[in-house]
Chain A
Amino acid sequence: MSVNDFWTPFELYSFLNALFIGLSVASIWLVAALGLTIIYGTMGVINMAHGEFIMLGAFSTYVFQTQLGVPFIVCIPLAFIVVGLFGWVIERLLIRSLYNRPLDTLLATWGLSLILIQVVRLTFGAAPLYVAVPAWLDFQVDLEILHLSGLRLFIMVVAVLLVVLTWYLMYRTTWGIRVRAVMQDKEMAASFGINTDRVYSITFAYGAGLAGAAGAMFGALKTLFPDMGSGYIVEAFLVVVVGGIQLAGSVLSALILGQLNSIFSYFTNDTFARFVLFSLIVIFLRFRPQGLLTEGLKRR
């Protein structure tokens, strides 16, 4: 293999466009990782079924859209609610008894993901489905250096909105104060009269809901099939861990990782980009296991 085959020649405009694509990839990873950040950051639960929550969001969007004719834009909050409720139930039934056993939550939620995948496969069949993209998103921004589809722009906007919403909830509401108190010291928070169980179940439901909203959008961008979640889970975890398990960190790490991924794939290919990126992450974590930004050092 000669060097010329492997490396794509550099061209300024398309390289700049690769940077915009990096932003788009970053927004997708961020949306996928957001719920995980909340759940892991607050409760220390390693939710391996997070990818399947995304999948449920996508499939519920499909049902709303095809069975009930709900417009796409409404499907997103609906998917948020449906998966959020589901997450709430899961928290009650399963996660509740596993607090303080983070590695066991990893195993139990892996079991949960197997169940969800197969149940969905039995219900909807194994063939991939699709969520139709509404006509008003069927446009392209076409400037010389910037070329993006309407849907990708939309996902970026929603990503920003979700981050702002989450930030507001966490830092500007009483609920957020409670959550952060529990995050820093559960026992202490409880002794101040905070109902930690309640905080946990609502937080988990919120995190699951975020995954549902993510799924609604991924269903439109990509494909719906029962194991689609496994395509997001590794990246989502890496975003969360590299970011230092907190909101701002996740935003920053999603931006950096998405951008690096896009640049590497611009010059080489997708597979090799993945290898380089993952290797870099491992080396980064070796030198900075606490992640890019750190806040509550307690969870590690």
Chain B
Amino acid sequence: MKQSLYQNRKAQWAAYLAVFALLAMVPLYFDNPFVINQIARYTVMAMLAVSVSLVWGYGGILSLGQGLAFGLAGYGMAMTMQMQYQNPETDPIPSFMLTNELDYLPWLWEPFWSTPVGLFLTLAVPTAIFMGIGILMFQARVAGVFVAIMTLAILAAWYSMAYDMQPYTAGFNGISPPLPFQIFGYLIDPYGAPAFWICVAFLALLTCGAKFLMQSKFGLVVQSIRDDAERARFLGYNVAYYQVLLFTLSGFIAASAGLCWVMVVQYVSPTSLELSLSISAVVWAAVGGRLSLMGAILGAFLVNGIQSYMGDELQQIWMIILGFIFIGVVLFLPRGLIGVVEKIFSGKAATTDAKVIAQVREVA
């Protein structure tokens, strides 16, 4: 069968590079700090959607807990930024702790004095936790809906902890570091181009890395597990090993998103650990097209963009519209918007709706 343009790898890479190059040029088009910051936020959300697409679209694992890695990394980054502000000599303890009857810095916070250690922990801890959860679940061959519900329970448990451990996390108020992130002596203004480019660089590197991996043998095995885990197991593959690695990787991407998020908003609170953010990320991936990393990015930009720009005029019915978009996509565009692009490029080829649905059915 002749390969369609959409499936042509060179064309895919060209499209990916073009999109990221264009995105990186945004600060050149728009000289407004608000717009730069806003698109940086969308970029971060796109990262979260990529993590969903990877684990769900490629791995067939629907995780409702991506917000866990995002939120924990957000806390790590906020702690790093907060400690950059604190002075070891004169003012060693963050303000909110003093008012929570802590007159010493908890050991949990000590490592964050050092920015490199802080950044390392910001990414490493959520990734390690995801690996732990992955081992817990996939060694027991938990699959499908059970993964969704277990990740949901884990997320809900951490959410309660984040706001209950008030002296350490500032509870429901969250942590707002007084100054932007500082590295190599430079303050990274969340409203400036450098912060934006850092986000875009993260997105581009992680997406391209994930895409590369998915085109490698590893990725093919992962996709075969998605399509039929039993068969892959009979062929001698260690299914759990692949699933754990994939899940860990998605945790790492979500953690990177959390890190960038706090860099551009200078704030973190338990709301990052709410179910609604994690489900929203799934929504973005589904709307854009879960089977494609670019689709997930597209979905995140589109839904967030619509929410920002249509929300104001149609405040009251935004949720209703979102609900209908969502149902519509699930019913009529199971491959998301990118499925439409695929259809255009593949011409009439093999992708009738029935077949798409049959394919997606396998995924689900």
Q: 0/1 per residue, B258-297, Cβ < 8 Å to A?
A: 0000000000000000010001001100100000000000
A285 and B146: CB pair below 8 A?
Answer: yes
A118 and B319: CB pair below 8 A?
Answer: yes
Cα distance, A210 to B249, chains bound together (Å):
41
Cα distance, A241 to B364, chains bound together (Å):
19
Closest chain B residue to A270, Cβ basis: B160
Chain A residues near B141 (CB-CB < 8 A): 289
- With A100-B361, A101-B361, A285-B146 as given contacts, are A94 and B331 in contact (CB-CB < 8 Å)? yes
Smallest CB separation, B68 vs chain A (Å): 12
A106 and B145: CB pair below 8 A?
Answer: yes
- With A94-B327, A300-B144 as given contacts, are A118 and B163 in contact (CB-CB < 8 Å)? no
> Which of B145, B326, B364 is in CB contact (< 8 Å) with A111?
B326
Smallest CB separation, B103 vs chain A (Å): 14
Q: 0/1 per residue, A91-114, Cβ < 8 Å to B?
A: 000100110111110111011111
Select the stretch in B83-91, B123-131, B148-156 that faces chain A.
B148-156
Smallest CB separation, B65 vs chain A (Å): 10
Check A119 for interface membership: any CB of B closer than 8 A: yes
CB neighbors of B among A100-152 (8 A):
100-104, 106-108, 110-115, 117-119, 122
> Which of B137, B161, B317, B326 is in CB contact (< 8 Å) with A118?
B317
The contact size tier of chain A is: 35 or more
Cα distance, A274 to B326, chains bound together (Å):
31
Smallest CB separation, B110 vs chain A (Å): 19
A272 and B164: CB pair below 8 A?
Answer: yes
Smallest CB separation, A87 vs chain B (Å): 16
> Which of A103, A107, A117, A281 is in CB contact (< 8 Å) with B319?
A117
- With A107-B330, A108-B330, A110-B326 as given contacts, are A234 and B153 in contact (CB-CB < 8 Å)? yes
A106-B62, A271-B163, A285-B140 given. 18 additional CB < 8 A pairs? Answer: A98-B330, A98-B331, A101-B360, A101-B361, A104-B334, A107-B326, A108-B326, A108-B327, A108-B330, A111-B322, A122-B317, A237-B152, A238-B149, A271-B164, A278-B153, A282-B157, A285-B142, A300-B146
A residues lining the B interface (CB < 8 Å) = 46, 94, 97-98, 100-104, 106-108, 110-115, 117-119, 122, 230, 234, 237-238, 241, 269, 271-272, 274-275, 278-279, 281-283, 285-287, 289, 300
